[in-house]
Amino acid sequence: MRIRHLNCASMCPPSRRFVQGEGGWLERGHIVCHCLLIEGRGGLILIDTGLGSALMERRVPLHADVKMLGVQLDPACTAKAQIEALGYQAADVRDIVVTHLDFDHAGGLGDFPQARIHVYGVELDAARARRGFVERSRYWPELWSADTRWLVHPEAGQRWFDFDAVRALPGEDAEVLLVPLAGHTRGHAGVAVKNRDGWLLHCGDAYFFHTEIAVDPYCPAGLSLFQRLLAADNRRRLHNQVRLQQLKREHGDVELFCAHCPHELRAHQMRQQPAAGGH
């Protein structure tokens, strides 16, 4: 089993200093969409998709969020394009495990119509109902196929460290767990993947920047405001951040990373041999 770290979209919002606490006030920020590609014996598994070809190629109307976030519309960045560049086909992706269904995490589902999509039931219900302004903005059903093969999982399951977890892919050689981390969305999940060195935990949008789970946690002002405004349940979001900080302190064999921190993505890609690339 091989794990590749991919960047499946880049966003460049105004004022890097305000958003990310570094760089200049007039400099554009740099936010990535960190996805995992697992090359298993039974086929390919994606953890999140980033943005898909429908949006990157402007085949769907672009919501205001795209311009506000400074999304770079580069079709070569899609998970599908990067997978094909590795010599595979989209049909080789058998399973996609999503942290949640925001457009920048599940926007590529339509590129993989044969894949099974693993998600918590409460998250799929929220994405279908789209109640309120925030959920109508974050969930874009037009980016999914009408024939999407949803596989809904319960949140309760076995214990994984101090978290509940459910094995997403029973019977596969890849050990992939859904870990409930609600707050950013109603059914937000982390995705834990076992590798030869221990565990990787893709935290999705449970936090946004590497300093948020540092020894002395710190969140830049712009990201702090952004996370509060988007949170379906901010109290639970903050509670789960504290739990992740504790997990990092107490269990050195679990490597945490989020979906949007360029520093974490760069660190993982530098350790890859050969590097997975990244846009």
Bridge pairing between strands 31-40 and 163-167: unpaired
Q: Where are the domains of the chain?
A: 2-271
Q: What is the dihedral of CA 72, 77, 80, 83, to 10 degrees?
A: -170
Cα(37)–Cα(35) distance, rounded to whole angstroms? 7
Report CA torsion sign: 156, 97, 256, 11: negative
Provide the pLDDT for residue 278: 44
Using CB atoms within 10 A of its CB, is residue 233 exposed (0-12), middle (13-18) or buried (19+)? middle
Chain centre distance of CA 10: 13
Q: What is the pLDDT along the chain (279 residues), one digit of tens a residue?
A: 899 999 999 999 999 999 999 999 999 999 999 999 999 888 999 999 999 999 999 999 998 889 999 999 999 999 999 999 999 999 999 999 999 999 999 999 999 999 999 999 999 999 999 999 999 999 999 999 888 999 999 988 889 999 999 999 987 777 999 999 999 999 999 999 998 889 999 999 999 999 999 999 999 999 999 999 999 999 999 999 999 999 999 998 899 999 999 999 999 999 875 534 444
Of 17, 32, 30, 51, which is closest to residue 268 (Cα–Cα)? 32
Of 158, 151, 86, which is closest to residue 123 (Cα–Cα)? 151
Of 180, 184, 158, which is closest to residue 243 (Cα–Cα)? 180
Provide the pLDDT for residue 279: 45
Predicted TM-score (pTM) of this structure:
0.95
Provide the pLDDT for residue 277: 41
Provide the pLDDT for residue 41: 81
Of 81, 86, 94, which is closest to residue 50 (Cα–Cα)? 81
Provide the pLDDT for residue 273: 53
Provide the pLDDT for residue 276: 40
Using CB atoms within 10 A of its CB, is residue 37 exposed (0-12), middle (13-18) or buried (19+)? buried
Provide the pLDDT for residue 49: 98
CATH of domain 2-271: 3.60.15.10
Provide the pLDDT for residue 222: 97
Provide the pLDDT for residue 156: 81
Cα(71)–Cα(240) distance, rounded to whole angstroms? 28
Provide the pLDDT for residue 275: 39
